């Protein structure tokens, strides 16, 4: 007998999280004997808690297919971490109550480390309560900080965007440096892990090729050492391109962006790392600078997605449903690298207990000894992840995106306050 499935998106969205959604939904639709309806949580897990469910069955096949090339989170995502299960058991019980009310027996939760943890807890509690739920976590995070999986869907596309943008902007600076900007700073995401910053290094590899400096959150920031390197690059190559992680920090853990930047109103929150670093360049070296902060542009840039990333995002979504149908519970489909050249990968299940609450940082052997670049091992790890293009269809000069109807499912339960 067929039961229903629930899908939700969690945390910061990516260029390809909807490709995973597309895969989950399309794969469910291929199994009408086992899976009846697919419901999506409006704004992630909040949709489940508040019984705010989107009736995915009323979306056309075309609309669902278009999710594959639509950035953002089509059903709404959220920054909402379920609290500790011992003291806030009511939330978990509510989830199961909602699932029961709508005959939901498959729970697909698409997110990062926090959502893997939630997924695991929901699975454990449902078992304890005797409710037959199969919970599968679908990996996603631009930060690439999930353990076990070769990489996290979403990361490869950011990496491709940052590497491409670094390459393009570097050509701009190189052509103007004789009489204009000498130092360019690009700030990228990754507060704890330097994977995205590292991907900027893919823009060049030969002697003197930009970027000339990568600043990782994993390496304590030393102003003197950094400025000496900047000066050397400008004197040797005529200019200096820096890719800096938003998480760059001093030895004592203070973020660079927190280093005293204030606006007219005394707000510290304003400071970005890029303008802070650019200000140091100006003060210490006197060079003309420009800086850019890519912010959401980098994780939303579906127009420049990595085909590898899109394929992997789709594959983990598809595999999630297959695992659920095979009776696997509390699992995450993880990407396993089979070979580097040519890049080959498979999807294999990983127990959620091994995934939850573990962050994967850049290993020291991926960071060059001087701390300002990546090693060959890192390049070999990163390079396959940006391979291939998967341009979306364009309409009237702009990427075409999915338009969903987002019909709501009728509520069956009393309201629940979160």
Q: Is 232 in the site for a second copy (CB under 8 A)?
A: no
- For a second copy, the closer of residues 144 and 306 by Cβ is 306
CA-CA-CA-CA torsion sign (329, 358, 77, 387): negative
- For a second copy, the closer of residues 90 and 175 by Cβ is 175
Q: Is 152 in the site for a second copy (CB under 8 A)?
A: no
Binding site feature residues:
12, 141-143, 189-191, 246, 296-299
Q: What is the rounded distance in angstroms from the CA atom of residue 273 to the CA atom of residue 369?
A: 23
Q: Contact region for a second copy (CB under 8 A) — 88-96, 117-125, 316-324, 382-390? A: 382-390
Q: Contact region for a second copy (CB under 8 A) — 89-97, 212-220, 362-370, 396-404? A: 396-404
- Show which residues are catalytic: 143
Q: Is 243 in the site for a second copy (CB under 8 A)?
A: no
Q: Is 211 in the site for a second copy (CB under 8 A)?
A: no
Using N-to-C axis directions, what is the helix angle for 307-325 and 17-29, rounded to 10°?
40
- For a second copy, the closer of residues 308 and 330 by Cβ is 308
Q: Is 259 in the site for a second copy (CB under 8 A)?
A: yes
8 A C-beta contact, residue 379 and residue 366: no
Binding site feature residues for substrate:
141-143, 189-191, 246, 296-299
8 A C-beta contact, residue 193 and residue 362: yes
What are the E-state strand segments in 117-160? 134-139
Q: Is 380 in the site for a second copy (CB under 8 A)?
A: no
Q: Residue 338 is inside which H or E element, if any?
A: strand 331-339
8 A C-beta contact, residue 123 and residue 82: no
Scan for tokens 């939850």, then name that residue.
Answer: 356
- For a second copy, the closer of residues 31 and 307 by Cβ is 307
CB of 127 to a second copy, least distance (A): 29
Q: Is 73 in the site for a second copy (CB under 8 A)?
A: yes
- Residues 53 to 72: which contact a second copy by CB under 8 A? 70-72
How many CB atoms lie under 10 A from the CB of residue 348?
Answer: 15
Residue from 374, 401, 404, 409 in contact with a second copy (CB under 8 A): 401
Q: Is 171 in the site for a second copy (CB under 8 A)?
A: yes
Binding site feature residues for diphosphate:
12
Which residues have a Cβ under 8 Å from the Cβ of 168 and sit 6 or more positions away? Answer: none
Q: How far is CA 397 from CA 233, 307, 366, 392, in A?
A: 39, 21, 40, 11
């Amino acid at each position: 007998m067929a039961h229903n499935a629930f899908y939700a998106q969690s945390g910061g969205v990516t260029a390809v999280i909807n490709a995973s959604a597309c895969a989950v939904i399309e794969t469910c639709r291929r199994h009408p004997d086992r899976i009846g309806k697919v419901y999506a949580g409006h704004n992630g897990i909040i949709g489940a808690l508040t019984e705010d469910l989107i009736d995915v069955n009323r979306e056309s096949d075309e609309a669902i297919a278009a999710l594959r090339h639509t950035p953002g989170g089509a059903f709404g995502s959220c920054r909402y971490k379920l609290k500790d299960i011992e003291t806030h058991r009511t939330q978990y019980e509510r989830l199961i109550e909602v699932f029961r009310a709508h005959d939901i027996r498959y729970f697909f939760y698409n997110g990062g480390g926090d959502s893997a943890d939630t997924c695991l807890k929901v699975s454990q509690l449902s078992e304890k309560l005797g409710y037959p739920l199969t919970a599968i976590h679908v990996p996603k995070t631009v930060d690439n900080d999930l353990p076990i999986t070769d990489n996290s869907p979403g990361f490869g596309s950011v990496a491709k965007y940052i590497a491409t943008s670094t390459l393009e902007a570097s050509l701009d600076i190189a052509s103007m440096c004789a009489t204009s900007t000498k130092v360019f700073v690009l700030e990228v995401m990754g507060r704890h892990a330097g994977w995205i910053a590292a991907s900027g290094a893919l823009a060049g590899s030969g002697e003197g090729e930009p970027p000339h400096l990568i600043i990782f959150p994993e390496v304590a920031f030393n102003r003197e050492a950094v400025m000496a390197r900047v000066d050397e690059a400008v004197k040797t190559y005529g200019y200096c391109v820096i890719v800096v992680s938003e998480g760059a920090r001093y030895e004592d853990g203070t973020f660079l962006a927190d280093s005293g930047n204030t606006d007219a109103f005394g707000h510290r929150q304003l400071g970005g790392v890029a303008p802070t670093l650019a200000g140091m360049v100006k003060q210490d070296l006197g060079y003309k600078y420009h800086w850019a902060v890519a912010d959401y542009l980098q994780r939303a840039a579906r127009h420049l997605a990595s085909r590898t990333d899109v394929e992997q995002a789709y594959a983990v979504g598809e595999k999630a449903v297959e695992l659920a149908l095979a009776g696997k519970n509390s699992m995450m489909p993880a990407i396993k690298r089979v070979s580097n050249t040519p890049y080959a990968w498979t999807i294999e299940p990983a127990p959620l207990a091994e995934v939850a609450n573990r962050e994967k940082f850049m290993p020291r052997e991926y960071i060059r000894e001087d701390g300002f670049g990546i090693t060959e091992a890192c390049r070999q790890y990163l390079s396959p992840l940006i391979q291939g293009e998967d341009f979306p269809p364009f309409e009237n000069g702009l990427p075409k995106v999915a338009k969903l109807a987002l019909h709501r499912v009728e509520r069956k339960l009393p309201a629940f306050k979160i």
